[in-house]
Structure 1
């Protein structure tokens, strides 16, 4: 059987009536979308996910339909989804158009700012027929998020290191920058022209961050001797798991809590005289 004929047969099967199957069959095209589906109680509806979808643990054995940018159309058709969730701003438009041309029901979910996580939960809940669960998950997220918000005071200059070699960070186009701002911080590379700019150590030195966050466990190594950076001089270098800041899903709340704790510590240290004994900033 030729490739074209095989695809035609799969498409025919997809469009045939699904008798006796009432539950949604969902495929997600980015890891955070699988997390959002699970957050509204829809993990059992997932039949396929994108590569690197590893949370919550129960989805790890699901078929992978590709990475975040290229997908196996034949496998997707074989899984017979009733809903495909695409990543707004991430899934290439060409891939979305290709899937829609196969008459697959593709919905785009976009999260650019922290409050949009709750909006995504509500939307996915509606799409899965779990509107109440989506609303409850969204409200719980919003309540915890609002409790963390910092609205006053001089912003803390923050550098977020995505990778150390080469040295990459994130601009204001990424939701991680919104997390920093939410906590009363200022992303020192917020104005970069691309979402994930490569920067130099000299540029970081010139930005003089008061807080340096990094995504890999060894991310502080390039900075330990650079005491000219306020964050290094004040020992404000901290690891935050990458998934807590780079995936625009429910676990952004964990990242926000951690970032807010560190920003708060920097603010507290500002009020302590320079010649104070060690530990006074922590209330010791």
Structure 2
């Protein structure tokens, strides 16, 4: 018995030594440029210059490793306490160097990557643009941070995917037939079917009027939207100004019936970032559609019913409302 106990103790010591050796061996990751980055030790001090990457680090439970972020990284709220280091187009190189990061996470399009690397600061370039990118980036960052998969990327992605499926199942069947226009800024640029936003819409079964053939975020001729005549518009509070004054837009069904979801800046951040909050983005879209559908159902006797000459006095209020709902959402 004593011999067996000693054997088990030596096995435990051996396993511990192996684990320590693995941890000390560091990590090796490949970024979006195809460059292999090898770190002798797991990075402890991280600078992130892209909100979606900052959020990914935090989603993996490693917010404490961030020592600085770009000016747009604002979730979770604790990031507000960190040094703000400019943006992807104008990073503050001097401030980044002063923080002595083990690695900088940045989009491949970020300026000054070469300058940072020439100063001996390794950069891992990652830029998620699609759902599949988000999953890949999540696992790359997980590997970089050496987080156990069962507590990190595996769990995070499983939760995201499950929440997206739940949101899709919660979408009213008739609502899936509604034509939706999602505007990302007032140029106007729209979210196409191949964009991160468009993929979320597709996952929910939302009928996006911007076809895949136009690209991810095409600049749209306003007349195109008039001709498409969406039943619902999704837009941020910042971009709503002047929308109703565009030629012909008062005739668009969504504008005429005031079925426009105006997102707060906080909601807009969730919606437009290709990051780990994509399930929350789906929930925001779902609420938008449900709310506007609900509002219309209760107000149809004074709005759409009037436009389509529904005769509530003859049909009766209940039957008339039912008819108008079917007219509107069918």
> Which TM-score bucket, shorter chain as reference?
0.7 to 0.9
SS at match of 1:249: coil
Retained in 2: the 8 A contact 1:184–1:263? no
Count of aligned pairs between the two proteins: 257
Mean CA deviation greater in 205-214 or 236-245? 236-245
- Asked if the contact 2:160/2:278 (under 8 Å) is kept, the reply is no
| Cα distance in structure 1, aligned partners of 2:118 and 2:129 | 27
**Cα offset, 1:39, TM superposition:** 1.0
Partner of 1:51, secondary structure, is coil
1:48–1:63 CA contact under 8 A, matched in 2: yes
TM-score by length of structure 2 reads 0.65
CA distance in 2, matches of 1:266, 1:206: 22
* Structure 2: unaligned runs, 5 residues or longer: 1-40, 311-319
Residue 202 (structure 2) pairs with residue 158 (structure 1): no
Local SS of the residue matching 2:139 = helix
- After superposition, residues 45-194 of structure 1 pair within 5 angstroms as 45-88=65-108, 91-92=109-110, 95-131=112-148, 132-149=151-168, 156-164=178-186, 166-191=187-212
Q: Secondary structure at the match of 1:250?
A: coil
Q: Which moved more, 1:119-128 or 1:241-250?
A: 119-128
Distance in 2 (alpha carbons) for counterparts of 1:84 and 1:210:
44
- 1:245 maps to 271
Is the Cα–Cα contact under 8 Å of residues 125 and 135 in structure 1 kept in the other structure?
Answer: no
Distance in 2 (alpha carbons) for counterparts of 1:214 and 1:123: 32
Please point out which of 175, 199, 203 is paired with 2:224: 203
Corresponding position: 1:229 with 2:252: yes
- Give the drift of 1:114: 2.6
1:214-225 aligned at under 5 Å gives the runs: 214-216=235-237, 219=240, 222-223=243-244
Structure ID, larger Rg = 2
Aligned residue for 2:233, secondary structure, equals: strand
Q: Residue 266 and residue 62 in structure 1: after superposition, are their counterparts in 2 closer, same or farther (change >3 A)? A: closer
**What 5-or-longer segments of structure 1 have no aligned partner?**
1-20
Look up the SS of the partner of 1:63 in the other structure.
Answer: coil
> For the aligned residues, what is the CA RMSD?
3.5
Match status 1:32 vs 2:15: no
**Greater per-residue helix proportion:** 2
Distance in 2 (CA, whole Å) between partners of 1:110 and 1:23 is 19
TM-score (ref. length: structure 1)? 0.75
